[in-house]
């Protein structure tokens, strides 16, 4: 292992820029295993930033460590779909075999094992990350083999390659996933249309963002173009942190041409020469292939100066890797993270289209939105708008997982009914479908005739299926843990409220909950919705509200009959005080008759 000073020198030679701090820390950690106080101080002084700033960044991101972790860092994906496939049993099995507790480092420093939020492999779970590399389709046998490899000290690069196989699992293809794509064709079509002509086609297409909010893409591009200033940026949001979503993973694996060309077309229209991809840390395995794809595009003059020979059409892309923070999918938090800071959402307005990355006008678009823009360039806006529904043009890619026989990607024209998707993916006896992840909506069978579309059931892509035997209380509890873990802590309602939601559900799970907790849950969910600063807090109460409204018996059978049961056993908490005071008479006990 290189000396820390060497690592700092190495990293800074590449990027001596404070806005690159997250990337520098990530690379330093890849060398050193963790960020020691000495490394943090050395980085701070070389970059000319306060040491506290470096520390705050390290502490913010789950994949940066300010304490040593094992040489093998194993993180089990803790999404509900992984749990449904038995991930917790496998997690406990591995802890037992390696004689470890959760989060603990083995005495020889070899291994640490913990849980992490959804790793985006729900179609091939249970999944885990081993030193940031995704391992899929875990079984008890595979876990045993992994334990043997860890004990024998075998380098990860020598582990069987099939452990790391990540499949696309495309089950239904349409415009994007199905068509044969000639690299460069969308770029050439956009150049032929000209900047204004391409913008006009975008307007005609009615393309709306696929990242969740459904904002009209042409409005964003035009606003950025019209914002004052000479420098502009196009950001591709590849954070894909919403549990149950994995479509962007596949687009970046097998359709990266389209995504990068979509970015360049956005740059062409908005007048931006630089693009940034924010790739979630869980997709670390995609970094080198994407870099290689960009190199190939540069060689083919599909990236760089004078794209396709068009004078003045200059555009190039950098890839930034995230480090395990769901909130960095929120566009302003993402920009903070790109600037090397903790990913906390900004106060808006101003919106990124006027004040974005480095204070410059910036378009932030989802991976799928950018891929869809190539369809508009190729076939024109009218053709694009001719598919889907009135308010939801084109196709939508769904990430289907859970209780179905064919999990994977399904691309449909917008407007498809939920029941059609269920039929196609081989789901029967379905109790509920969670559409758009924990922040989305839980649908029950009486709603399965509804349509996937912005005007009916909007979605960023997740489609998690729960069979009749599933306990929807436990699903809501898993989601509450997710939000409490991922709250960035910037605003009090969300920081405190998500923790209270989690604790109240845990209390009910332990059989100590009463009507009091239910009332508290509903009150908190409403408070979160009304007073949180960003979408994470605003939607964090949705799952518990939905589950209580639609699966009440799952709660009621856990409730004690009384009106209230305290969360803390005060009498037990005073045991030590009684020992010190040397008294144990009735009056020294809370609740005892005097």
Q: Which residues bind ligand SF4 (CB under 6 A)?
A: 327, 345, 487-491, 494-495, 532-534, 536-537
Minimum CB separation from ligand SF4 for residue 533, in Å? 4
CB of 332 to ligand SF4, least distance (A): 9
Instruction: Specify the long-range contacts of residues 385-388, CB closer than 8 Å, at least 24 apart.
Output: 385/204, 385/205, 385/206, 387/175, 387/413, 387/414, 388/413, 388/414, 388/415, 388/453
* Binds 366: which of ligand SF4, ligand FMN, none (CB < 5-8 Å by kind): ligand FMN
In the set 69, 188, 210, 247, which binds ligand FMN (CB under 6 A)?
210
Candidates 395, 366, 414, 363; CA nearest to 199 is 363
Q: What is the dihedral angle through the alpha carbons of 46, 51, 54, 57, rounded to the nearest 10 degrees?
A: -170
Burial 240-278 (b: 16+ CB within 10 A, else e): bbbbbbbbbbbbbbebbbbbbbbbbbbbbbbbbbbbbbb
Which CB, 207 or 494, lies closer to ligand SF4? 494
239 or 411: CB nearest ligand SF4: 239
- Both tokens of residue 227? 């914002």
Q: Which of 183, 184, 445, 535 binds ligand FMN (CB under 6 A)?
A: 535
DSSP string, 211-253: SSS--BHHHHHHHHHHSSSS--EEEEEE---STT--HHHHHHH
Partner in contact with 213, chosen from ligand FMN, ligand SF4, none, beta carbon below 5 to 8 Å by kind: ligand FMN
Q: Centre a 10 Å sphere on the Cβ of residue 141 and count the other Cβ atoms it contains.
A: 8
Q: Which stretch binds ligand FMN (CB under 6 A): 40-48, 86-94, 131-139, 362-370?
A: 362-370
Q: Residue 536, interface with ligand FMN (CB under 6 A)?
A: yes
- Find which of ligand FMN, ligand SF4, none residue 215 binds, CB within 5 to 8 Å per kind: ligand FMN
CA angle centred on 75, ends 71 and 76, rounded to 5°: 145
Which span sits near ligand FMN by CB under 6 A: 249-257, 304-312, 363-371, 401-409? 363-371
**Residue 213 interacting with ligand FMN (CB under 6 A):** yes
What is the 3-class SS of 105-119, one letter each residue?
Answer: ECCCCCEEEEEECCC
CA 355/CA 224 separation, integer angstroms: 9
Judged by CB under 6 A, the stretch of 26-34, 56-64, 210-218, 402-410 that binds ligand FMN is 210-218
Report in angstroms how near the CB of residue 43 gets to ligand FMN at its nearest. Answer: 28
Report in angstroms how near the CB of residue 354 gets to ligand FMN at its nearest.
Answer: 15
* Residue closer to ligand FMN (CB basis): 100 or 364: 364
CB of 317 to ligand FMN, least distance (A): 16
- State how far the Cα of 389 lies from the Cα of 357, in Å rounded to an integer: 34
* Binding status of residue 421 toward ligand FMN by CB under 6 A: no
Q: Which does 489 bind (CB under 5 to 8 A by kind): ligand SF4, ligand FMN, none?
A: ligand SF4
Question: What CA–CA distance (Å, rounded) separates 250 from 378?
Answer: 21
Q: Are 106 and 112 in contact (CB under 8 A)?
A: yes
488 binds, among ligand FMN, ligand SF4, none (CB under 5 to 8 A by kind): ligand SF4
Whole-angstrom CA distances from 441 to 416, 436, 451, 464, 486 are 16, 7, 13, 11, 19
Classified as helix, coil or strand, 123 is helix
Q: How far apart are CB 239 and ligand FMN at their closest, in Å?
A: 4
Q: Which of 123, 215, 80, 132 is nearest to 406 (CA)?
A: 123
User: Shortest Cβ distance from residue 344 to ligand SF4 (Å)?
Assistant: 6
Between CA 477 and CA 484, with CA 483 as vertex, the angle to 5 degrees is: 90
CA dihedral for 459, 463, 469, 475, sign (positive or negative): negative
Among 353, 82, 315, 117, which Cα is nearest to 215's? 353
**Binding to ligand FMN by residue 219, rule CB under 6 A?**
no
Beta bridge mates, 455: none
Closest to ligand FMN by CB, 372 or 478: 372
369: contact with ligand FMN by CB under 6 A: yes
Query: In the set 7, 355, 364, 525, which binds ligand FMN (CB under 6 A)?
Result: 364
User: E-strand spans in 78-232?
Assistant: 111-116, 128-130, 133-135, 170-172
Q: Considering the complex, what minimum distance in angstroms separates the CB of residue 356 from ligand SF4?
A: 18
212's contact among ligand FMN, ligand SF4, none, with CB below 5 to 8 A by partner kind, is: ligand FMN
Q: Which does 513 bind (CB under 5 to 8 A by kind): ligand FMN, ligand SF4, none?
A: none
Contact status, residue 35 vs residue 44, Cβ threshold 8 Å: no
Token readout for 76 is: 């089990």
Which position among 149, 199, 327, 353 is part of the footprint of ligand FMN (CB under 6 A)? 327
Query: Smaller CB distance to ligand SF4: residue 118 or 465?
Result: 118
Smallest distance, ligand FMN to C-beta of residue 278, A? 9
Instruction: Return the SS3 of 387.
Output: coil
Which of ligand FMN, ligand SF4, none interacts with 207 (beta carbon under 5 to 8 A by kind)?
none
Tell which one of 82, 261, 282, 331 touches ligand FMN (CB under 6 A): 331
Q: Indicate the residue among 65 and 414 with the shorter CB distance to ligand FMN.
A: 414
Q: What is the DSSP letter of 558?
A: T
Task: Based on the shown chain and the rule CB under 6 A, indicate whether residue 348 belongs to the binding site for ligand FMN.
Answer: no
Single residue of 365, 411, 517, 520 touching ligand FMN by CB under 6 A: 365
Q: How many residues does the chain have?
A: 594
532 binds, among ligand SF4, ligand FMN, none (CB under 5 to 8 A by kind): ligand SF4
Q: Tell the smallest beta-carbon distance from residue 345 to ligand FMN (Å).
A: 7
For ligand FMN, the closer CB: 125 or 345: 345
Residue from 269, 534, 540, 547 that binds ligand FMN (CB under 6 A)?
534
By DSSP bridging, strand 430-435 and strand 462-467 are: antiparallel
Site for ligand FMN (CB under 6 A): which residue of 244, 329, 437, 493? 329
* Residue among 462, 484, 481, 485 at smallest CA distance from 473: 481
Question: Any contact of residue 433 with ligand FMN (CB under 6 A)?
Answer: no
User: Which of 70, 125, 211, 458 touches ligand FMN by CB under 6 A?
Assistant: 211
Residues near ligand FMN (CB under 6 A)? 209-213, 215, 237, 239-242, 327, 329-331, 364-366, 369, 534-536
């Amino acid at each position: 292992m290189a000396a820390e000073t060497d690592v700092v020198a190495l990293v800074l030679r590449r990027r001596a820029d404070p806005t690159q701090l997250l990337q520098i820390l990530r690379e330093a950690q890849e060398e050193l295993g963790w960020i020691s106080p000495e490394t943090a101080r050395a980085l701070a002084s070389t970059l000319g930033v306060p040491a506290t700033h470096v520390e705050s960044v390290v502490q913010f991101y789950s994949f940066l460590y300010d304490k040593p972790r094992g040489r093998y860092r194993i993180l089990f994906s803790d999404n509900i779909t992984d749990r449904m496939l038995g991930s917790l049993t496998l997690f406990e099995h591995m802890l037992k075999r390696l004689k470890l507790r959760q989060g603990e480092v083995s005495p020889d420093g070899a291994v640490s094992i913990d849980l992490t939020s959804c790793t985006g492999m729900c179609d091939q779970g249970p999944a885990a990350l081993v030193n940031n590399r995704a391992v899929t389709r875990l079984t008890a046998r595979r876990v045993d083999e992994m334990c043997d490899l860890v004990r024998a000290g075998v380098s990860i690069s020598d582990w069987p390659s099939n452990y790391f196989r990540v499949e696309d699992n495309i089950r239904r293809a349409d415009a994007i996933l199905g068509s044969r794509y000639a690299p460069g064709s969308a770029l050439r079509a956009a150049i032929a249309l000209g900047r204004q002509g391409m913008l006009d086609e975008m307007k005609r297409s009615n393309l709306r963002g696929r990242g969740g909010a459904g904002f009209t893409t042409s409005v964003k591009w035009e606003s950025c173009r019209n914002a004052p200033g000479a420098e502009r940026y196009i950001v591709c949001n590849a954070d894909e942190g919403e549990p149950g979503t994995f479509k962007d993973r596949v687009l970046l694996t097998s359709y990266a041409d389209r995504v990068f060309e979509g970015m360049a077309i956005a740059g062409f229209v908005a007048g931006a020469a630089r693009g940034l991809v924010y790739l979630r840390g869980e997709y670390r395995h995609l970094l080198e292939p994407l870099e290689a794809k960009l190199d190939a595009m540069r060689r083919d003059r599909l990236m760089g100066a004078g794209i396709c020979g068009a004078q003045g059409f200059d555009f190039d892309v950098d890839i930034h890797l995230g480090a395990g923070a769901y909130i960095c999918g929120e566009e302003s938090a993402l920009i903070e993270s790109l600037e090397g800071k903790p990913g906390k959402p900004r106060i808006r307005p101003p919106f990124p289209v006027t004040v974005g990355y480095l204070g410059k006008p910036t378009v932030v678009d989802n991976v799928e939105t950018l891929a869809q823009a190539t369809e508009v360039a190729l076939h024109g806006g009218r053709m694009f708008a001719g598919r889907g529904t009135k308010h939801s043009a084109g196709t939508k890619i769904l990430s289907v997982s859970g209780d179905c026989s064919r999990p994977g990607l399904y691309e449909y024209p917008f407007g498809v009914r939920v029941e059609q998707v269920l039929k196609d993916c081989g789901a029967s006896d379905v109790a509920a479908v969670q559409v758009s992840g924990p922040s989305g909506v839980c649908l029950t069978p009486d709603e399965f005739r509804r349509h996937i579309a912005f005007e009916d059931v909007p979605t960023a892509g997740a489609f998690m299926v729960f069979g009749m035997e599933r306990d929807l209380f436990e699903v809501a509890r898993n989601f509450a843990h997710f939000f409490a873990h991922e709250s960035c802590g910037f605003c009090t309602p969300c920081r405190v409220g998500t923790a209270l939601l989690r604790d109240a559900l845990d209390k009910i799970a332990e059989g100590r909950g009463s009507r009091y907790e239910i009332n508290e849950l509903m009150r908190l969910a409403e408070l979160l919705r009304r007073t949180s600063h960003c979408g994470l807090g605003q939607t964090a109460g949705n799952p518990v509200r939905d589950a209580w409204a639609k699966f009440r018996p799952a709660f009621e059978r856990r409730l004690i009959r009384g009106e209230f049961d305290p969360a803390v056993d005060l009498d037990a908490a005073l045991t030590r005080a009684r020992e010190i005071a040397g008294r144990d008479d009735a009056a020294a006990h809370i609740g005892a008759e005097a």
